[in-house]
Structure 1
């Protein structure tokens, strides 16, 4: 998964047949009533997607594989924001008016997904206000709109280029709206936008034209040259404006505050645990991971501290020009282990394409999975993006950056992003016959699943499979997994404390280094990310919820519990919040943690 959308707006349990026939015979009226209510809600949700969600988010529509809006662009104007708020309020009333008690279990979960999507978008537009605070929303947003048309060959190049020209003609106006909307943004947001912009300009100068070199229509090529030049000039002008005008008056606060943080967790993840309790849960898990790290480090070299062993771990990495090949080389072992141990059903033999991260995503991500949308029928390639060091970096900066690509960490990242993490979950989504579950979901499910896989695979014996009779290498794999777990533990604490005023950015960087066992370069990038991704605690939060769900399902099923069946049933729920998944798999509403 991990398709990114910088649009301003947005961001199958196979029911056991069992006693369903008998139930229908004994309560026909109730069954028919539920079926009718389910159908009515499905029509309502379809209308939400068709008349609002996709028309308002054309970039997301392209990414999802629906190409009716490929010539359109999001309305970034203040009038557009206000219109979206008004329309969303109307939709909120319509969906909230549906009586959940009359719906079947699955459709009841779909109603929660649609309603929370609306609530979350309203929270973003009215309270968090990235359209007013974050200049990168505009420049990276239009760049992503171009990228979705060029990254996959879902139509002939002439068709996609014609659509791109139509989008590009709308882009200068977006940057003009940015100048009207942006008001006292946080300094870090303006700095990040300025850091991104040279790469964005280069993207339009080099990457975009190179994607359409096989277009022969001279008139179309001339139109593209004109529209692309206008976008480049607009981005360069925007960069100058940010530097000379907006940067000196960027004194705003990036913190969203405790109330908005709680609401965002409630709407996005269906988690309403108090923030102080969440911090206590994560800190307890972090202490466990630190102790496990110390135990493994002692086995590797009892004469050294965990930090010294960590330094050695971070110094064992491939050359920069071999990183992509190293990632590709992990797939055979991971797939072989999954099949041998019957971890999960792999729906397809097609593998993701490993490539360098696109320029506009490099400032805030090291690796990501970019999969085709659930409705893409032609260009079905999935891309495993890896951020490489820049050629003009100093040797010291490159060394610190490369510490994240030690061989054990590469194995953990490949597990997280591909097998059996994001990529496998994406493959399962194509098996669903539920539009809401294909389009909406919770990050605690998506990232929680991938993070859970890192630990689960080693718990099931991956290290001994990859490195038979090499105890040191086995221990290093576990050490790499624990370092990644500590990174996610640190995100958990930093996200909450940054946005509730309990931690400064400098303290956050130090926390990543001292408690999360990361290099300072990684800590700086992670802290920057946290300023605009406040709830990036969803990795650990989701993993802990899945572990508890598995424990409770295993306790209920006893000797009949089967890991592959558990994982397959989990996949059948789509990307739903764990609370919904839990109700479907356990048929109760017990706490997720």
Structure 2
């Protein structure tokens, strides 16, 4: 149970810290890497008490997509594995129902009911369709029976969560826990007021760059209308087809500019995201280090059908906005990061790629690619990059505001719309996400630490970017201050922006 997991993590930390004798620098790095991973997991289990407060704790861990999207075995074998998983779902649903304390914030209610309800639809819909070609009537009958029970359990759980009134607050960690979260997970001990100032400075930097780009691209228009103009250039055949066209071009750009090494020959597929995982507009699912020959899938979410038609239309990204989402998710963002981490010398580097490292790197690459010449100075392309940067600026400031300064969801939504020029649907999603994902400041926080490390390590020499990128990615995914200390030969990890 949960207490056993807490005890295991506490013992892991104590045992690792007991190794304090004659150790090489590499061994000390591995020990500290493991300690941070365990401390980060322990924070959410114990300090933040997510199993009793936050449905997001369960939604990610219940994901059955591996049985459907990854051909690690023949369909019949994977179908049997899915049945084994689904047989356990009713008990898990009952435990989740018992664990979640009420009342929950309204954003948690919506997230939980959508996530659990999405599982129910998936079990009897996409999952069943995926195994339709398995010619085994007995297995198909067993699947139908088990999937129906699992779906009923998840529908019941979704209905239970949806029936709760939902409070207008109750998500905030508070300043002390928020600071502890950053320290345990990311080795960042920067005071919150200073962190907020850093975020506001970067927001203004990107807003100023947007004004300059819009003056060329949409002279005489307001910034909001300039962003709408960029967003209105939508792919005629949808974002999935457009992303499939973008990926080969992005990979070719990386090779032409010699920006980073590309280990292996793997490619990423692009698909529409499954119904239980549409709370974010895009994400990528990547096989682990011990899975061979399996595809990575870059998922793009359709609009929420409950929104009005205009909000749904606005949610579909413009081509240049989507371009930098493709940079972020695939080339040279997450996909390339994991091509490197899956080949890391460190076992912990292979197994544990941290939130700030992964999202910081992926977000860092967006501006890096623009600076390297992606788009050849085209202002519309620059606006696409800045749209993504501003989205992350508002995540950063919303995380601090929602969890330490009494910011409301409505105020966060307003921030996304008015300061970061996001459309209604994205602003709504992102403000809600900040309540149940307090670490979503990691995109900008990680990016800024990586940019500063690049400046210091290369001493401003652009010809050393490839060497920097390869060295940075070789560590796998530990807290960025640990990578900084190793690369800069500093005595101890320190967050530097």
Q: Could you say which residue in structure 1 is the equivalent of 2:17?
A: 96
Q: State the SS of the aligned residue for 2:238.
A: helix
Aligned to 1:355: 271
Does structure 1 residue 386 correspond to structure 2 residue 300? yes
**Cα distance in 1 between the residues matched to 2:221 and 2:68:** 50
Alpha-carbon distance in structure 1 between the residues aligned to 2:387 and 2:462: 34
- Does residue 286 (structure 1) correspond to residue 207 (structure 2)? The answer is no
Pair 1:84-2:5 in alignment: yes
Residues 1:573 and 2:491 are matched in the alignment: no
Distance 1:392 1:81 in 2: 36
Per-residue CA deviation, residues 17-37 of structure 1 (Å, 9 max, x unaligned), is xxxxxxxxxxxxxxxxxxxxx
CA distance in 2, matches of 1:253, 1:392: 26
- Tell me the residue number matched to 2:98: 180
**1:283-303 deviation line (CA, Å, top 9, x unaligned):** 011111111111111122332
Secondary structure of 2:299's partner? strand
2:388 to 466, 470, 484: 484
Contact 1:496/1:535, CA 8 A, preserved across alignment: no
CA contact (8 A) 1:136 1:190 kept: no
* Aligned-partner SS, 2:36: helix
2:234 matched residue in structure 1: 317
Match of 2:329 in 1: 417
Q: Any conservation in 2 of the 1:255–1:500 contact (CA below 8 Å)?
A: yes
- Match for residue 407 of structure 2? 503
**CA RMSD for the aligned pairs?**
2.0
Name the CA shift for 1:252/1:226 in 2 (closer, same or farther; >3 Å): farther
Q: TM-score, normalised by structure 1?
A: 0.80
- Indicate whether 1:164 and 2:72 are aligned: no
1:193-220 superposed Cα distances (whole Å, 9 cap, x missing partner): 2233443221111111112123223332
CA 1:500–1:393: 2 relative to 1, 3 Å: closer
Structure 1 residues 290, 251: CA separation in 2 closer, same or farther (over 3 Å shift)?
closer
Kept after mapping to 2: 8 A contact 1:190/1:250: no
1:576 deviates by: 1.6
Distance 1:425 1:313, change over 3 A: same
SS at the partner of 1:102?
A: coil
**Is contact 1:138-1:174 (8 Å) kept?**
no
Structure 2: distance between partners of 1:177 and 1:302: 58
TM-score, normalized by length of structure 2?
A: 0.94
Q: Tell which structure's C-alpha radius of gyration is larger.
A: 1
- Cα distance in 2 for partners of 1:306, 1:206 equals 43
> For residue 115 of structure 2, what is the aligned residue in structure 1?
196
> How many residues are aligned here?
494
Unpaired segments ≥5 residues, structure 1: 1-79, 465-470
The aligned residue for residue 248 of structure 2 is 332
SS in structure 2 opposite 1:369? strand
Cα shift at 1:561? 5.4
Q: Deviation at 1:251?
A: 7.2
Q: 1:232 aligns with which of 151, 155, 158?
A: 151
Measured at CA, do residues 442 and 243 of structure 1 come closer, stay the same or move farther in structure 2, by a change above 3 Å? Answer: closer
2:243 is aligned with 1:341: no
1:371 to 283, 286, 290: 286
CA distance in 1, matches of 2:264, 2:383: 31
Kindly provide the CA deviation profile for residues 552-593 of structure 1, in whole angstroms up to 9, marking residues without a partner as x.
1122xx879522111111111111221121122221146522
Q: Which secondary structure state, in structure 2, belongs to the residue aligned with residue 368 of structure 1? A: strand
